[in-house]
Amino acid sequence: MKRRNFIKRTAVSGIALSGLTGFMGASASGSEVSNSAKFKLKYAPNLGTFREHAGKDPIDNIKFIADQGFRAIFDNGLMNKPPELQEKIANELARLGMDLGPFVLYADFKTKSMVTQDPEIKKMLKETMKKGLEVQKRTGVKTALVVPGHFDEGLERGYQMANVIDNMRMCCDVVGKTNLKLVMEPLNAWTNHPGLFLTKMSEAYLICIGVNHPSCKIVDDMYHQQITEGNIIPNMDKCWDYISAFHLGDNPGRKEPTTGEINYKNIFKHIYHKGYNGVLCCEHGKSKPGKEGELAFIKAYREVDSFEV
């Protein structure tokens, strides 16, 4: 038996017996590894997660991610990649039957953008949406992330909310014919992003109701929401019809699940039983450096994905 095939079969057997035993043993020796039992949900590492094992090439990273049982990837910087690379990434994902999570379409944390009725900003937003459609044409991506921008200290919050609803409706009208979903991300103001307008799931829900457009959706970032308001599962349930993607990260520290206070195993079980089939972006760091950290990342997701079905 060829050594490569032996390692792969050993790794898969190790998964069945004890999670990552075979995988970690093969990796420690520097050999090619496989951990191909598919995860129950579409946890999506980004393309830089496994550089110590897979190198810098995006296609090699996609192959490695698939080989570890992940069913999706995400790339916040997809829009800024050359068009030919976008197409190459999409083709490889299609070949492997993998999904692509939301990319960042508009996220200016310093500008009072959607909270205003500034004609120049409106023009910029329309042009940005059109650029997002070009990315969708090349990749088939289903969701694009938007952030309404900075809070305006000189304008009553209710008026700002009305402006955000109006601007989001305008943006949805631009992308709506292609069925691209714009997922708004509430972000925490306490640890990472002071001064932003949108911080709570309830406010994102209100905007979706006000916009009243099938392209207006929410990305539920559980790291941010644990800091801002907690109550993750009840808030998720209240917003469920408008959630089109999730972002992951434990708190404190914004590292892989099991490193903080969030009970991701129970949350993932809840999401699974609600029938969610979308992407959950692993938008967090690693608790350990180097290859050890990459292995810890995979082991953590195997642990939290081991809920009963």
Give the domain ranges of the chain: 1-37, 38-304
pLDDT of 21 reads 37
Scanning the structure block, which residue is given the tokens 């941010």?
224
pLDDT of residue 165: 98
Bridge partners of residue 288, in order along the sequence: none
Is-contact 109 149, C-beta < 8 A? yes
pLDDT at 200 over 50: yes
Average pLDDT over residues 291-302: 98
How far, in Å, CA of 71 to CA of 98, rounded?
Answer: 5
Q: How many CA atoms lie within 13 A of 250 on its CB side?
A: 19
Backbone angles phi, psi at 62, to 5 degrees: -60, -45
Which are the contacts of 87, defined by CB distance < 8 A and separation ≥ 6?
Answer: 138, 139
Q: Tell me the pTM.
A: 0.89
Task: Tell me the per-residue pLDDT of 76-112, one tens digit each, with 9 for 90 and over.
Answer: 999 999 999 999 999 999 999 999 999 999 999 999 9
Residues in the chain: 309
Is the pLDDT confidence value at 1 over 70? no
Nearest to 35 by CA among 306, 302, 309, 303: 302
pLDDT in tens, 208-241: 999 999 999 999 999 999 999 999 999 999 999 9
Return the CATH fold of 38-304: TIM Barrel (3.20.20)
Across 22-36, 65-79, 210-224, 255-269, least confident range: 22-36
**Quick one: how many helices (H) and strands (E) in the chain?**
12, 9
The model's confidence at residue 2, banded by pLDDT at 50, 70 and 90, is: very low
What is the distance between the terminal CA atoms of the chain, rounded to a whole angstrom? 36
Query: According to the model, what pLDDT value does residue 9 have?
Result: 42
Instruction: Taking residues 35-64, report their average pLDDT.
Output: 96
Give the closest residue to 64 by CA, choosing from 101, 27, 29, 91.
27
φ and ψ of 233, to 5 deg? -70, -45
Q: In angstroms, rounded to a whole number, what is the distance separating the alpha carbons of residues 95 and 116?
A: 43
The pLDDT tens digits of the residues spanning 103-148 come to: 999 999 999 999 999 999 999 999 999 999 999 999 999 999 999 9
CA distance to 23, 27, 65, 180, 286, per residue, from 68 (Å): 9, 12, 5, 29, 17
Q: Are 79 and 105 in contact (CB under 8 A)?
A: yes
Least confident of 11-15, 75-79, 136-140, 160-164: 11-15
Tell me what pLDDT residue 34 has.
58
CA gap 309, 269 in Å, rounded: 7
For residue 30, pLDDT over 70 is answered with no
**Rg from Cα positions in the chain:** 20
Average pLDDT for the chain = 91
